[in-house]
Chains A and B, each alone.
Chain A
Amino acid sequence: MPNEKSSVLQDSGFDYSDITPIPLKTIDPNDLKTPALCDILYSDDYRELISLLRPLMKANEHSQRALYLTDMIIERIAGHYTVWSYRYNILETLSSKDKSNGSSELTNELAWCEEVALQNPKNYQIWHYRGLIIDLLLDRYPDQFDIEGEYKILKHMLNEDNKNYHVWSYRRLFVEKFDLFDKKEELQFVRDKINEDMRNNSAWNHLFFLKFGRYKLKLQKTVDDSVVSDEISFAKELISKAPTNPSSWNYLNGIYKILKKNIIELKSFVTQFTNLVYEDSVSVYAFELLAEIHVLEKDLEESKKVYELLAKTLDPVRVNYWEYKKAQLTVV
């Protein structure tokens, strides 16, 4: 163990001297006989932190000094799920209603989460953890929860990385939890995201969720006609701006699929793009949809021609797939 002077915890303001450390086993880097199998040559400070964490966890100690220790470890390994889980248990105790500063423990924790999130944008645990803390806050001190604070951090995170999977997933849960499907700001945010980058598929997915989520989740029996026609127009407008963008095509197609609408009505729209010849690019999605429309029209010959065109000239990397689609036609 490192001596007191070099302790990584010397400036912590907490006293850990009563704890009997449980040290991690030492590794001999010169042992050539046994395969090390990914044992890590830990640093002394990490060894010290874990050697204190283990007895504290064993004793189920839910204290400020334990909380501080988890902070130090997460700073070193953000993906340390055990420590996240232990930290949650600590907070659950520290924020109980009989504590004088229970609510500020939780609001401080949300602020701490933000710092960690900004430093670890790809982390799995943090957003789930944040959700758990918010649930605690809502359960114990509902008037202390500031929904605007959530918007702020989410906005910041999605500015940094506009396709961050975990953040978008958190945002979806957040919308569901507070029933924000129709909230103007939420819709404006996601439309702005799409407008600044039409190929941000995560934003398209979120828009789909806002507009059709309640229907898909069976919270609603139907989708308003006006919503459907607005979204179809929106998708068409953006396809017209960028006809090779798969995100807007998938959105349009997705609406038809989920509502079981007839794609034949898209024929005149689609043919605008199958007739459009760019020198350097082609709207594969328009051709794929056109082939499917021909199938519904029972015009298998036309459909076959489209698949052949895709396989031979327009989209040769997917030649196997187009051949497969063509082969399916004869089966039908």
Chain B
Amino acid sequence: MAPDTTDDDRDKKIAKLQFLIGLTNLQTSQQSKSKSKSKSKPKLDRFDSILEMLETSKPQIPQVEQETYPSRTINAQLQVEKNVIGIYENFLEKGSNNIPEIETLKHVQYVRFYLQNPLPVEMLGYDSLHTWTIYWLLNARCTLGGYDKISKVEKDAIIDKVFSFWMDETDAIGGFSGSDGEYQLPHIASSYAALLSLVIIIDDDNYKRIKKNLDVEKIHQWLLSLKQPDGSFFMHTNGETDVRAMYCALVIINLLGIKDEKLTENCIEWLVSCQNYEGGFGGDLMDEAHGGYAFCGLNALLLLIDTPKQLYDLIDVDSLISWMVKRQYGMEGGFSGRTNKLVDGCYSTWVGALSPLLEVVTGTEELINREKLQNYILCCCQDPGKFGGFKDKPTMRCDFYHTNYVSCGLSFCNSFHFIDEDIMKEDGLAFSFKAAKLDDDCPLGLVDPVFTVPIGAPLRFKKYMKRE
């Protein structure tokens, strides 16, 4: 399923052209023509890039500090550096023909296996995350190139499943519970994940059914019941409030077209106060800056404002960028989620999506180092054997969560984003992100950095919801 293919192709070509002459940001391209420079950076092949990484990067902690002030942080960091360097050196020894590539096939097999077959009892912990597990696998499948390969049988099964989570017994309650709607409470993050699965699979054939089943007014009332005077949202009844809940609520509100003053009251003020002294966002006022919350915080703002430049009036954009780029570690190439913490593949999305967003906001070509992030993902987050899936770091095991967010991160490494100004005016900033591949041969699908679903899918969903 790929509607508007011709339009997409044209957009890609235009975007690529713009990119090549150093104008990634269509929106500001008119005003900034004079200051933009054509920069043609020779692209290193992966072997040289890894070699360069090992040769030029310095360890984070100097020898003298290691000896004088040993600590848990130092031990943990040295251990990871040692592992990762070992892996990189091993690949370099094998020569440039053996540098890992994206092993799309085995990852697709992993994802399809777990979508098709019931989960073993060892995965019982996923019972309260059911809508999440479906979204993670489904979206990973799309990112790995399967967006147009989801069959009608699968789509119908997903719709059935998602609506089996719906709770309509209680009047005031809407939304999707974690699993088996008859006994689990509706939860904002579960609803978010459920809705994203519908966003991915909606088409001409099934949109009426989805529309009929989604009681938008009930969801609206339910979200209002979780809204706090300070602007924040409770995740669920008796639940916590944090930036995640705010972001997930705003995604739902935007997709269903139920934005109103009551729901958005004080949201911006509350979000802005969650940017902390380091430049990133914490989960709540004055909590530590954290990659996951930074993703939620920035995107929540983008779901509320009209143009990217408005961001400058609300938060300290420069210190967010400064904090973001520091998440990337020179030797590993991957991102950490917090200052002085270890790299983890999932931040390839949480921090990795911030880069294209902030590149658009600032009109900059590239902020993070895509090439080096990609080295980390390909060498350290996928298993060398025949089993697919992605993971946090070499010593860990693959799981659904990492499989999705590492795949998305890999897609961000191979693409750049820009804004379609017409869509921005018509449908809002959050829906206006478009993307193009840096390398046409890359098998990965393009990912929307705000909604983390295939690019274009959120707008399509929104339009279906308006269609009779």
Contact = CB atoms under 8 A, between A and B. Distances in A.
A35 B126 CA distance: 17
Given A247-B340, A319-B369, A197 B72 contact: yes
Interface stretch (B280-288, B384-392, B409-417, B428-436): B280-288
Contacts of A53: 183
Interface string A184-215: 00000000000011111110010011001100
Interface string B253-289: 0000000000000000000010011100011111111
B367 A321 contact: yes
Interface stretch (A97-105, A140-148, A220-228, A280-288): A280-288
Contact of A200 (B118, B177, B340, B365): B340
Contact of A278 (B64, B128, B133): B64
Contact of B116 (A35, A124, A169): A35
B119 A39 contact: yes
Interface in A53-88: 53-54, 57, 76-82, 84-85, 88
Contact of A197 (B73, B367, B369): B73
Contacts of B116: 32, 35-36
A199 B71 contact: yes
Interface in A16-54: 22, 24-25, 27, 29, 32-43, 46, 50, 53-54
A156 interface: no
Interface stretch (A6-14, A250-258, A261-269): A250-258
Contacts of A169: 282-284, 287-288
A40 B118 contact: yes
Contacts of A200: 71-73, 340
A250 B327 CA distance: 13
Given A165-B288, A197-B72, A254 B62 contact: no
Given A81-B185, A205-B288, A246 B369 contact: no
B239 A76 contact: no
A276 to B, nearest CB: 10
B285 A38 contact: no
B339 A81 contact: no
Interface string A265-300: 000000000000011111000001000000000000
B115 A35 contact: yes
Interface stretch (B4-12, B53-61, B218-226): B53-61
Interface string B37-77: 00000000000000011001111111111001101111000
Contacts of B95: none
A205 B236 contact: no
A105 to B, nearest CB: 17
B124 A89 contact: no
Contact of B325 (A125, A202, A241, A318): A318
A42 B71 contact: no
Contacts of B368: 320-321
The A interface is mostly helix, strand or loop, or mixed, namely helix
A168 interface: yes
A244 interface: yes
B237 A39 contact: no
A84 B239 CA distance: 9
Contacts, number: 239
A34 B117 CA distance: 9
Given A246-B339, A331-B35, A81 B239 contact: yes
Nearest to B131: A38
Interface residues of B, number: 92
B177 A82 contact: yes
A40 B126 CA distance: 8
A279 B58 CA distance: 9
B330 A316 contact: yes
B333 A250 contact: no
Contact of B330 (A25, A42, A317): A317
A257 B187 CA distance: 37
Contacts of A241: 65, 68-69
A132 B236 CA distance: 14
Nearest to B339: A201
Nearest to B75: A197
A41 B124 CA distance: 8
Interface stretch (B154-162, B209-217, B442-450): B154-162
A124 B240 contact: yes
Interface string B351-386: 000000000001011111100100000000000000
A38 B128 contact: no
30 contacts: A22-B183, A25-B180, A35-B157, A38-B134, A40-B123, A40-B127, A41-B118, A41-B119, A43-B121, A77-B124, A80-B127, A81-B236, A128-B240, A165-B287, A169-B287, A197-B71, A199-B71, A205-B282, A205-B287, A208-B277, A209-B286, A216-B273, A245-B340, A247-B340, A251-B277, A278-B64, A280-B62, A281-B60, A281-B63, A317-B53
Interface of A: 22, 24-25, 27, 29, 32-43, 46, 50, 53-54, 57, 76-82, 84-85, 88-89, 124-125, 128, 132, 162-163, 165, 168-169, 172, 196-202, 205, 208-209, 212-213, 216-217, 241-242, 244-247, 250-251, 253-255, 257-258, 278-282, 288, 315-321, 324, 327, 330-331
Given A41-B118, A288-B322, A316-B56, 15 more contacts: A36-B118, A37-B158, A37-B161, A50-B183, A80-B128, A165-B283, A172-B284, A172-B287, A198-B69, A199-B73, A202-B288, A247-B340, A317-B53, A317-B333, A317-B369
